[in-house]
Structure 1
């Protein structure tokens, strides 16, 4: 498959450089593609992708021509730019990126900025009537915030992550994310930590934005994504869709229900197959997501006998807090490297968590662990792979596992 790496700057050379002026200058050079097309912008820490998938599924069911940009991707860059649920063709994206190279050279865009710019160009070419923009990092200086028409802001759960870029406490992180909220927007959020709630309320007061708090959806809603947290994510999506009446669209509840039941988001509590065996995949890669996953395990059959975790965690993540959230006394955890990234190893984890020495093992790859589990007798409940979306993307890219 065409990996486009010749046209996208390397993340390690041109990765996190948060500011808006480059993006605004680049879009100005392009005569602001899609500038008057209204967008739902999705901000937060955990659950953004799930909220986007509910929004996209409902909008597609309603027959609206929606353009969606998300990050990160699992297998292909093309996943990040979709129109009516269909990823951009790789040949189209290659042409877009080639056309944007002079602009990229002029403004020295980051990889994320370049891809968001390509998304706006594609959405204009595809005559999209509504956009869904998932923030990549933060909010105040995120490339998606350069879009001038964001009347609806959907807020996912805000927690501690990317502290090296956004601040080391919840108030600082929430302020950085909430700074994306434009004047007079409608802002939809589920329950948040009190520190986050205070920031959202103060920001919306200053911006004269309409802040709406939503409760998790009732169990009568059939959701296409597994996990209890999805009732909260879907409630935020529902509130955002209802807020569209302010910009001219009214979606019948029956259409929204149909869309929500059809929503799919790979790598999030997803059951897959390795040969004849089943395992779960989940993209949890920070402490709040790990705590959520730890709650989910209570619903798994035989979980009290112990769960086998297969974890790959990037070196800059708070792996100690993640393990403290996930591991119970009868559990085992295999520690793997994240493909292509600096990662935590068993020895480093044991420096902080020496009591886990009998529970932690190490392996060079997922296949090594799976073969070991197969020879020992496949565990119940099925093993769960978590800690990094890069690992999950690598498994799909190499066809190590197949979706159910």
Structure 2
């Protein structure tokens, strides 16, 4: 599965899907449930594993999808966000939905969109369900958006399995001010009698998950990170926890459908897994850069831990960071920046973003380590002019930035 397939571009569906930030965040399960009723409940009988959490959802979904394929099952996957093409969000096995098919589905959905006042994300999930109804995969892997209780994927009625990624503070303006409140919103996706799999969580989150699972008479399994003898196609130490969640979920699926999903198949699938934009080596004008989609404090903390694997704390790391205005940028900087580091602050293309001046005011103790540029190209060009750093710079803070740099051919995947 490679979303960055030749010819992929940011397909223009703006006449059907307005920019997410123009509609604003509007979480509600009722609209989706009404829409799926109007559509005669597409894909309702296909069992699904729903992946919820704050960070690691995409990686867990990726491991699940590849392992199901390796086991000979047909897997339908929906993810969010995409890097280059809307088509990345809906696929069956290796086949992404075509832009022609997606446009046709969205056009057909317009009466329901109008009647139910669906958000762009809800439109995409409805389109995915209609597509899956036609393709009839054996299992669905549904990556939730930012929520749980009111997420569009939660409207699917046959979610017998919930895989939980790391839960942390993010989207507080929508999900709650505290970790317990955010965890409760995520855990509220757990259906009655389902099975839940999670790696270790912070104590506050663990208590919420245990309470929510018990209230729903759902079984809950905690897993430890996979051992080092597992070969994973996704880089980073944290992926061993994400893969462990996927592994335990796959074990349950195998028992549930009475079809053996062998350890060999799981190993093969995990080794084949690819997820662009996550701790990935790329090239900018032939020069090496690392890119990562870390966009909230917990993800920044995980990225800081990874940095310790390739660099000592007293060695300088240069960062190129684009952070949306509603994110907790000062906290992210405090996780990322060691005393000798330097960070270039640039805007997220087409999104309200933190500026250099705002960050210097909100994180004054780090102000001397911050520089500003009109865009990521300007920052990287200045680094080239000054002499490319011996330690490759890291571009992070937003997948939208990485997608823009790929779309404009400024970054090339290795």
TM-score bucket (shorter structure): over 0.9
CA contact (8 A) 2:313 2:338 kept: no
Aligned residue number for residue 110 of structure 1: 119
CA contact (8 A) 2:294 2:398 kept: yes
CA contact (8 A) 2:359 2:367 kept: no
Counterpart mapping for 1:344-359 below 5 A: 344-359=354-369
Q: Among 259, 262, 265, which residue is 1:249 paired with?
A: 259
- Structure 2 residue 330 is the aligned partner of structure 1 residue 320: yes
Q: TM-score, normalised by structure 2?
A: 0.96
Q: Among 337, 346, 356, which residue is 1:336 paired with?
A: 346
Q: How many residues align?
A: 404
Give the Cα separation in 1 of the matches to 2:224 and 2:244: 7
Counterpart mapping for 1:195-234 below 5 A: 195-234=204-243
Q: For residue 37 of structure 1, give the secondary structure of its aligned residue in structure 2.
A: coil
Give the Cα separation in 2 of the matches to 1:351 and 1:13: 28
Shift of 1:221: 0.2
Give the Cα separation in 2 of the matches to 1:262 and 1:10: 33
- Structure 2 residue 387 is the aligned partner of structure 1 residue 373: no
* CA offsets 1:45-92 (integer angstroms, 9 cap, x no match): 000000011011111112211110010111111111011032110011
Aligned residue number for residue 360 of structure 1: 370
- Structure 2 residue 33 is the aligned partner of structure 1 residue 24: yes
Q: For residue 123 of structure 1, give the secondary structure of its aligned residue in structure 2.
A: helix
Give the Cα separation in 1 of the matches to 2:320 and 2:222: 36
* CA offsets 1:126-174 (integer angstroms, 9 cap, x no match): 1212100011121001110000001110000000000000001010000
Between stretches 8-17 and 143-152, larger displacement belongs to 8-17
* CA offsets 1:299-345 (integer angstroms, 9 cap, x no match): 11466320000000001100000000000110000000000011001
Q: Among 218, 235, 243, which residue is 2:244 paired with?
A: 235
Q: Among 52, 55, 61, which residue is 2:64 paired with?
A: 55
Between stretches 139-148 and 240-249, larger displacement belongs to 240-249
CA contact (8 A) 1:307 1:331 kept: yes
- Structure 2 residue 299 is the aligned partner of structure 1 residue 289: yes
* CA offsets 1:198-243 (integer angstroms, 9 cap, x no match): 0010111111101000000000000000000000000000011111
Give the Cα separation in 2 of the matches to 1:12 and 1:218: 41
- Structure 2 residue 17 is the aligned partner of structure 1 residue 8: yes
CA contact (8 A) 2:314 2:339 kept: no
Q: Among 82, 85, 98, which residue is 1:89 paired with?
A: 98
Q: For residue 335 of structure 1, give the secondary structure of its aligned residue in structure 2.
A: strand
CA contact (8 A) 1:151 1:185 kept: yes
Shift of 1:14: 2.2
Give the Cα separation in 2 of the matches to 1:13 and 1:335: 24
Aligned residue number for residue 140 of structure 2: 131
CA contact (8 A) 1:300 1:381 kept: no
CA contact (8 A) 1:23 1:109 kept: yes
Shift of 1:356: 2.1
Give the Cα separation in 2 of the matches to 1:22 and 1:106: 9
Give the Cα separation in 2 of the matches to 1:82 and 1:348: 40
Q: For residue 322 of structure 1, give the secondary structure of its aligned residue in structure 2.
A: helix
Aligned residue number for residue 53 of structure 2: 44
5+ residue gaps, structure 1, are: none
Q: Among 149, 153, 168, which residue is 2:162 paired with?
A: 153
CA contact (8 A) 2:46 2:136 kept: no
Give the Cα separation in 2 of the matches to 1:169 and 1:302: 33
Shift of 1:357: 2.6
Q: TM-score, normalised by structure 1?
A: 0.98
Give the Cα separation in 2 of the matches to 1:170 and 1:250: 38
